Amino acid sequence: MKKYLMPLIALLFFVKSQSITHAQQTHDLLLTGANIIDVETGKITQNGILAIDKNRISFVGNAAAASAHQGKRQVNLSGKYIIPGLWDNHVHIEGKDLIEDNKALFPVYIAYGITTVRDMASDLGEQVLAWRDQINRGELFGPEIFTAGRKLEGIGSIWPDDLEIANEDELDQMLVKLDNYKVDLVKITDNALKGDLFLKSVQKSHDRGYIVSAHIPYDLVISDVADAGLSSIEHAHYLLRLGSDERPLVEKIKAGEMTTSEAQLSYINNFDQDRADAAYRSLAAKNVAVCPTLIGSKKLTYFDPETENNHPFRQYLTDLFVAKYQWRIDRMANDTPADKARKIKSYELVASQLPHVQNAGMLILAGSDSAPVNTYVYPALAIHEELGYFQDAGLTTLQALQAATINNAKFMGKLDRLSTLKQGKEADIVVLNSNPLENIRSTQDIYAVINNGEFFDRAALDEFLRVAREKRNALNQSRRK
C-alpha cells in the first residue's frame, strides 16, 4: 500500500501547485499595501490590493488574495490611502483670448487629482466640445470633460456667446443646435431670460432627455421649476428662498413692486428652517440635486487680497487670466459696512444649510465655479478648498468625499463606469498620504494619481506642474512683445 501512497501524494501536490499557478493572474499594474476607501460606505480595506488592466480596475481585495495576483508593474503603497478620482462638477473653461491658457491647465487638474470635470458652458463652447472629444480619443491629455457647450439665455445676456432666445421657436432652434453639438447636459441662466420662457426652456430640454442644470429666476417659484424637469440648482444661495413663502414675493417682483435685491434681503431676514427643510425633502423626492459652489462667496465675503495676490497657485495662471479677476473686486469697491455684514450673514446661512440638505436626501454635487471671471477661485485647487468648506459647514468627511466622487457620477448617469473602486470601473484613482476620512483636506496631500489606467507618481505630477509654469511664463512673455 505504501508504494502507491507516496506517488499519489506527489501527484496531488503537483495538481494543487499547478492549479495555483494557473489561478494566478498577471496584471498591467498591481497596487499593494494600501488602505482602500469605499466611498459608498466609508469602509476601509487595510493592506488592500488593487489591480489594473488597460484602463480598468480588474481586482480589488485584501492581502489574503495577494498570492493569486502579480503585476507587470507593482507599486507598494503601504500607509497610503486610495480614493476614486475627484470631480469638479462646476467649472467654466472660458475666454476666447485664453484658449492656450485653459489648455495648459488640463495636466494641472490631473496633478491635483481631478480626473473629471463638468464644464457649465462658456464662449468657448465649441472648443471645449472638441477638447472633450480629443481627450476621449486619447489625443489630448487631461480630465474627462462633460460639457453643456453653450448655455440658454435671453436676448442681451451679459455673458458672451450665450444661445439667446426670445420665443419658443428660437428655443427649439437652439435645442437642435445643442443636439448637433452632442452636449452632455443643458445649462440655463436667467440674467436676461424671463420666467415664462425660462420655464419652457427647462421643460423642453427635459423632454428631450437632457440633464438640466440652472440658476433660478426671481420671477419663478423653485418648486415650479423643479416640476418642469429641473435636474440641479447651481449655487446654493438660491436655497435661501425656500425658507419663505416664495409666491407673494414672486408676484411682487413680476408686478414691479419689489426688486430682486429687496427680495433677497427678505429671504435672508425671514428665513424659516422648518419650511426650508420641508422644501428640501420635496426637492429630493423630485430628484433635484444642488451644486453649492460655496467658494466664490467665501472668497469675496472674507476678502483677503494680500493672501490671494501671493497665492502659490498663481504660478500656473497667466497675467491675462488673473486680470479678469479684477471686475468682481471693482464691484465691491464701494461696499459699506452694512453690505459686508449682509454678505457675511448670507454666506453663513447658506453654508449652514448643507447638513439640512444632506439630511433631506438631496444629492450634493461638489463644484467650484472656477473661471477667469470668478475671483480667486483657482482651477483644480478650488474643489479641494470647496470640500474643506463643506466640512466646516457640518458635512461629515465621508459626505464631503461623496460629493466629489459618487454623487457626481450618479447625477451624470455614469456610476456604472466611474467613481468607485470596484472591478470593471475605469481606473481613475488618487493615492493620498493621509486619511481623508479624518480630515477632508487630506485630498490635497497627493502621493500619486492614476488617470485612465496610467500611473503618475509624485515626480511625474510635479513635472506636469513644472511644464504648466513654463507654459504660463511663455504666454506672459509672448504677450509683452
Q: Is the pLDDT of residue 132 over 90?
A: yes
The predicted pLDDT at position 13 comes to 45
pLDDT at 161: 94
Q: Which contiguous run of DSSP H or E holds residue 243?
A: none
pLDDT of 437 > 70? The answer is yes
The residue among 392, 469, 368, 415 whose CA lies nearest residue 89 is 368
**Hey, which residues does 290 pair with through a beta bridge?**
233, 364
pLDDT value at residue 65: 83
Q: Which of 238, 55, 210, 53 is nearest to 146 (CA)?
A: 210
- Least Cα distance to 344 among 276, 298, 291 occurs for 298
Q: Work out the burial of residue 66: count CB atoms within 10 Å of its CB; fewer than 13 is exposed, 13-18 middle, 19 or more buried.
A: middle
Structure-block grid coordinates of residue 366 = 461638489
Please state, rounded to an integer, the average pLDDT across all residues of the chain: 94
Residue range 192-213: mean pLDDT, rounded: 97
Tell me the DSSP string of 102-120.
HHTTHHHHHHTTEEEEEE-
* DSSP letters spanning 22-59: HH-EEEEEEEEEEEEE-TTT--EEEEEEEEEETTEEEE
Q: What value does the mean pLDDT take over residues 424-449?
A: 98
Res. 23 pLDDT band, cuts 50 70 90: low
pLDDT digits 0-9 by tens, 352-401: 999 999 999 999 999 999 999 999 999 999 999 999 999 999 999 999 99
What is the DSSP secondary structure assignment for residue 155, as one 8-state letter? T
Beta pairing, strands 56-62 & 44-53: antiparallel
Residue 317 has pLDDT above 70, yes or no: yes
**pLDDT higher than threshold 50 for residue 6:** no
pLDDT of the residue at 166: 97
Overall fold of domain 85-418: TIM Barrel (3.20.20)
pTM beyond 0.85, yes or no = yes
Which pLDDT belongs to residue 17? 41
Cβ pair 435, 35 in contact under 8 A: yes
4, 7, 254, 350, 429 from 91: Cα distances, Å: 74, 69, 31, 20, 20
Cα-trace Rg, the chain: 25
- Confidence tier at 140 by pLDDT (50, 70, 90): very high
The confidence score (pLDDT) of residue 14 equals 42
pLDDT at 239 over 60: yes
Q: Is the confidence at residue 26, as pLDDT, over 80?
A: yes
Dihedral, CA atoms, 402, 405, 409, 414, nearest 10 degrees?
A: -130
Cβ-based neighbours of 92, under 8 Å, separated by 6 or more: 119, 120, 121, 122, 369, 370, 371, 372, 373, 374
Helices (H), 361-396: 381-393
Q: Are strands 429-432 and 81-84 parallel, antiparallel or unpaired?
A: antiparallel
Torsion sign over Cα 403, 409, 415, 419:
negative
pLDDT in tens, 168-186: 999 999 999 999 999 999 9
Confidence of residue 339 (pLDDT cuts 50, 70, 90): confident
pLDDT in tens, 284-309: 999 999 999 999 999 999 988 889 99
Q: Which three cell numbers stand for residue 277?
A: 427643510
Q: How many helices (H) and strands (E) does the chain have?
A: 19, 17
